Amino acid sequence: MNQTPPNPARRRLLNATGMAALAAASGRLLAQTTPRPLLIVSSWEISGLSPAASGYIFTRLQVTETLLGSRDDGTPEPALAGRWQVSADGLEWRFELRPGARFHDGSPVSAQAVLHSLERVRTPPGLLATVPIRSMDAPDGKTLRIRLRSPFVLLGSVLAHSSTMILAPASFDAKGTVREVIGSGPYRVAKLEAPHQVETRVSEYYDSPRPAIGAVRYMAAGRAETRALMAESGQADLAWNLDPASITRLRSRNAVGISSVTLPRTLAVSLNAGIPGLSDVRVRRALSLSIDRAGISRALLREQDLAATQLMPPTLAGWHEPSLPPLTRDPATAARLMREAGWTASPAGWRDAKGQLLELRLQTFPDRPELPVLAAALQAQWREAGFAVKVSIGNSGDIPLAHRDGSLQMGLAARNYAMLPDPTGTLAQDFAPNGGDWGPAGWSSPIVSDALQKLLRGGLTPDEQRAERRRILLALQQELPVIPVCWVRAHVAVNRRLEGVRLDPLERSFRLTEMRWKA
C-alpha cells in the first residue's frame, strides 16, 4: 500500500508541534523537580562574610551552625556539640561533636576543623575575644577542649552566638579571611549577591531529616513599606521588620497572616554621661521624666503594653525586677530637677549659670522603621520640656563610631539584651568600665561592675544570682545611663500558604526546617 509522504510545510508543522509539546512537558517536569524558593525579606543587609559581620544572617538561614544552641528560655542545648562537660573548677570545657556532621563541601566536621574555625574569630569584634581562653586544642578527632585562665560561665552562651559559627577550612584563604560560607546546617549557599541577596538549597550532606522547604531566597529591602507590599502581593512569603502602620493595614485586609513574639529587645537612648549637662544624674532623670512612654507605645507601636517601665521586659523574667519603682512621665518633677541642677528655662531651652544653652544631638538609623519616628516623638516631647534636641539619622554603624571617637551625645537603638542567651554577657559588654559600642559613654558604676563580675565568675546560688541581678537593675534605674523607652514585639507577615511558622524569641534562627507548604 502506497503512502503519500507529508509535504515539507506539514513536516515543519509536525516538528514544531512536537518540539512545543516536548518543551511544555520539560517545563512541567522542571517545575516538579525544582523547588519553589521561599522568599524572606527583611532590612538586614549582608555586610560581609566574616562571622562577626553577618554571621547572624547565615545562622538564621540555617546555613551555618554553632557549637551549642539555645532553647527559648536561654538554656543551652546541643548543636554541633552533641554533649559537653565542664570541670569542677570551671577551667576546662570539653565538647564532643555530633557524629556524622559534614560540611557542605562533603568534608567531615572534625574537632580540628572546629578548632581551625574558632581560632579565626578570637580577635575583636568577635565575642570569643572576650573569653579568658588559655588554650584550645583537639585531643582527638571528635573532641574539642577549651582551657580558661579563670572561670567564665558564659562560654556556653558565647559558643551559641552567631559570631562563633563554625565554617569549613575551605571557607578561609591563607590569611584567614572568609572567602566562602561553607557551613554544616540543613541549607547550603547556592548563590550570594551581597549585600542584598542570598539563595540557599537543602544540603545533601546534612545528617538530620530533610527539610520540607527545599529552597530559600533571602532579600534585604531597605524600606518597610516595600517589605509590606511584597508580603501583601504574595511576592514575599515572610516579611520582617514591618512598621506599625503596615502591620495595621495588613491585618485589616487579611491578605496575610501575622505572627508575633515579644523580644528581649528594648528601644532605649544611650547617653554620654561624660559631657556637660548629661554628667548630672538629675538631668538624665529629667530627660526620662519628660517621656510619655505609654503615649509613644500606643500611638507609634500601636501597643500600649510595650511602654518600658524599666530596662528589661517581663519576658526576661530573670532580669525584670517587679519591685523597682517604674519609670513614669512627670514634667513638674523634671523641671524641678533641672532647676536644682542649676539650669534656667528660656524660650530657646535650658541654660546653665553662664547662659550657655544645653543643646543635645540624638543619633539613630532607619534599619528598624520605628526608630526615626520614635526619635521625632522624643524630640517633640523633650522640646515641650525645654530641651533643645537635634535628631540625626544616619547609618547603624554611626553610633558605635561616635562611642569610640567620643562624639556621641545620645544614641537611640533597639538593643537586644539577649544577644547571648544569657543577658549577663550583653550587659557586661555595654556597661563595662570603659563602655561598650551600644551602651552608655562616660559612665561606670562600681556596683554594676562588681555584680557583673560575680555573675561572670559563677559559683553563686540561685538566690545569690537574683540578688546580684537586682543590684544591677536598681543601679541602672537610679542612674539612668541608658533611658528605656519601649520594649519590642516582632511582627512577621506570613504567606497563608505557609505553615509551621514559629518565631524565635531570641532571634537566633528563622526555623525554616519546621516550615512547609500547605497541600
Tens digits of per-residue pLDDT, 55-83?
Answer: 999 999 999 999 999 988 788 899 999 99
- What is the structure's pLDDT at 22? 37
Q: What is the mean pLDDT of residues 257-271?
A: 94
Q: Evaluate if residue 456 carries a pLDDT over 90.
A: no
pTM of the full predicted structure?
0.77
Phi, psi dihedrals of residue 225, rounded to the nearest 5°: -65, -40
Distances (CA, A) of 161 to 60, 94, 156, 270: 11, 18, 9, 24
Q: Which of 458, 424, 506, 409 is nearest to 130 (CA)?
A: 424
The burial of 393, by beta-carbon neighbours within 10 Å (0-12 exposed, 13-18 middle, 19 or more buried), is given as middle
Are 327 and 477 contacting, i.e. CB atoms less than 8 angstroms apart? yes
% of the chain beyond a pLDDT of 90: 76
The pLDDT-based confidence of 145 (bands split at 50, 70, 90) is very high
Q: What is the mean pLDDT of residues 324-333?
A: 97
Are 352 and 358 contacting, i.e. CB atoms less than 8 angstroms apart? yes
Q: Which of 12-21, 83-92, 367-376 has the highest mean pLDDT?
A: 83-92
- What is the structure's pLDDT at 127? 84
- Tell me: the pLDDT tens digits for 174-190? 999 999 999 999 999 99
Q: What is the mean pLDDT of residues 286-290?
A: 98
- What is the structure's pLDDT at 29? 40
- What is the structure's pLDDT at 30? 38
Tell me the fold of 262-489: Dipeptide-binding Protein; domain 3 (3.10.105)
Written as nine digits, the cell of 79 is: 548543636
Q: Evaluate if residue 367 carries a pLDDT over 90.
A: no
Contacts of 172 by beta carbon, 8 Å cutoff, 6+ apart: 116, 120, 178, 179
The pLDDT-based confidence of 17 (bands split at 50, 70, 90) is very low
Q: Evaluate if residue 191 carries a pLDDT over 50.
A: yes
Q: Evaluate if residue 379 carries a pLDDT over 70.
A: yes
- Tell me: the pLDDT tens digits for 387-445? 999 999 999 899 999 999 999 999 999 999 988 888 998 898 899 887 788 999 999 99
- Give the start-to-end residue ranges of the domains of the chain: 64-171, 262-489
Are 353 and 403 contacting, i.e. CB atoms less than 8 angstroms apart? no
Tell me the fold of 64-171: Dipeptide-binding Protein; domain 1 (3.90.76)
- What is the structure's pLDDT at 35? 61
- What is the structure's pLDDT at 9? 42
- What is the structure's pLDDT at 124? 82
Q: Evaluate if residue 13 carries a pLDDT over 70.
A: no
Q: Which secondary-structure segment (H or E) carries 30?
A: helix 8-33
- Residue predicted with more confidence, 255 or 308: 308
